[in-house]
Amino acid sequence: MNLEILPTRTGGAAENMAMDFLLLQRYPRAVPRFRHYGWRGPAFTFGYSQKIALVRESLAGVEPPFELVRRATGGGIVDHRDDWTFALVIPRGHPLEELRATQSYREVHEALAEALRAQGVAARTKPCVDEPEADKDATPGPAGVCFQRAEIYDVVNERSGEKIAGAAQKRNKHGLLFQGSIWRPSAETDGTIDWDKFEEDFAAQLAKALGTETQPTPWPEFNEDEVSGLVEQYSAPEWTEHR
């Protein structure tokens, strides 16, 4: 069971969210899969349970235009205008998928921090002495505007204390979807990062955590009607504003 590394793609906000969901729901093999992706223009995403009125209030000072899309995962608002975004799916039954959310969150972010340290970044996961009890499927930390405050096991800069990376999760019968974002300005305070090398190192660290090897893999052939239907769903005001 290898960690399949998919090609980097750039899409609009609705397309990116649809593709991540399809990687959870319709992937042809029950193996871990990972992808890094870009954004076609300025975008923000926010967690599934967030109230749209509070989201709009939080973004009132942001100059338009930008895309705004509700994620299928939890968490708060994520600014994608200058981030490095990734998705990881772990199939149901894998030992890492069966961990409580705080622990799977920690495993992935320890791998991320290790790859950043290889680039000279003083990265570490934020520790917590007394970890609160939480439901297995909950996303760590309260919702809010990401990169303003670090929660337990977010990746932070050890010297400045700035938050570097955060993520959100969704678990269902197919497995665990982990959507993560690295804020480039915070990561690069210690110098320029070779993001291609970082991706290679990060994938290797994830494979190590999963007890497997990396394997570059072509993009799967999803049903075109399902793809277009999901993109339309994530684009629709009914989805973005339903809470």
Output the DSSP codes for 1-27: --EEEPPPEEE-HHHHHHHHHHHHHS-
Q: Look at residue 140 and tell me whether its pLDDT is greater than 50.
A: no
Comparing 14-18, 47-51, 146-150, which segment has the lowest mean pLDDT? Answer: 146-150
Q: Look at residue 212 and tell me whether its pLDDT is greater than 50.
A: yes
The confidence band for 161, taking pLDDT boundaries of 50, 70 and 90, is confident
Its domain, for residue 225, covers 3-240
**3-class secondary-structure state, position 86:** strand
Say which CATH number the domain at 209 has.
3.30.930.10
Active site residue 146: yes
pTM: 0.90
What mean pLDDT, rounded, does the chain reach? Answer: 91
Report d(CA 190, CA 186) in Å as an integer. Answer: 9
Which of the residues 43, 115, 146, 193 is marked catalytic?
146
Domains contained in the chain, number = 1
